[in-house]
Each structure stands twice: as structure tokens, then as C-alpha cells.
Amino acid sequence: MSELYSNTLTIVESDSPFKVIREKPSKLPLFRMIGENMFKSNRKDIYPLLDEMSSFTAAEQWFFQLLRVAMDDNNRCIIRNSSLTKAEKNKKTNAVKLLIKRKLIKQVIREEYMINPRAIIHAKNYESSWEYWEKLP
């Protein structure tokens, strides 16, 4: 007799060669904290993003939100100075210095930044992003 696994109502004839087995819904969450496995053995490899974000200054919060909105699949972002006011340019300058010091971003070229791939992980481009990140000064 073959087994038929199902979580939905399945109508099977009484003389069917199938035995219906109901699976219990999984209690595992749909997501986990980025970079951790259940044994936390690779904790050293992840960036403590939540800890860092909790201590951001107002300028850092503002600029990091701009970066997240502008980010592509390779964790790179372009923030044009021409689109910012003078006050925002000053805020950006301060935020960039602080975020670089936290090792959360690096400047690729003028007006282009990269977010640490271990802070925000894009699964399909992680390896290439990490290699590029390590090559940046």
C-alpha cells in the first residue's frame, strides 16, 4: 500500500491502494535571523546589524534608509549629491563617516556605496558581493 502525505482534505476511495497520512503543520518559523543556524556555530560570520542599528544617530538612520531604498542586488547604492539639499549633504557626510567606522558601508567611488554583504544578505549574489567587499579599501 502506497502512502499519500497531505495537509489538505483528500478524498480517497475505500478500496484505494493509498493510505492517507496527515502531516502536522511545521512549527519552524518561516524565517530566521540572518546568518545564524540553529546551533549558532557561525555567529562570528554575521554582522550584528540589529545591535548597531539600535545605536544609530539620527543622521545614520536617515542615510541608511536612503541606502536601503537605493540598494541593488549586489548591495551597492548610488546617492547623488545633486538630489540633496545643503543640510542633507552635511548630514550625509557625517553619516558616511560613522557608518564606515562601524564597517557597515564602504565607499566604492564618489557617490556610490556598498552595504556590508554580511549585514544584508542577497542569497543569489552573496559570494560575488563578499569578494568585491573584501577588495575595497
Answering whether pTM is above 0.75, one says: no
pLDDT in tens, 25-79: 555 444 344 544 444 555 556 778 888 888 999 999 999 999 988 888 888 999 9
**28-40 residue pLDDT tens:** 444 344 544 444 5
**Residue 25 to residues 6, 9, 38: CA-CA distances in angstroms?**
10, 14, 19
Q: Of 74, 92, 72, which Cα lies nearest the Cα of 83?
A: 92
Q: What angle, rounded to 10 degrees, do the helices at 86-101 and 58-70 form?
A: 90
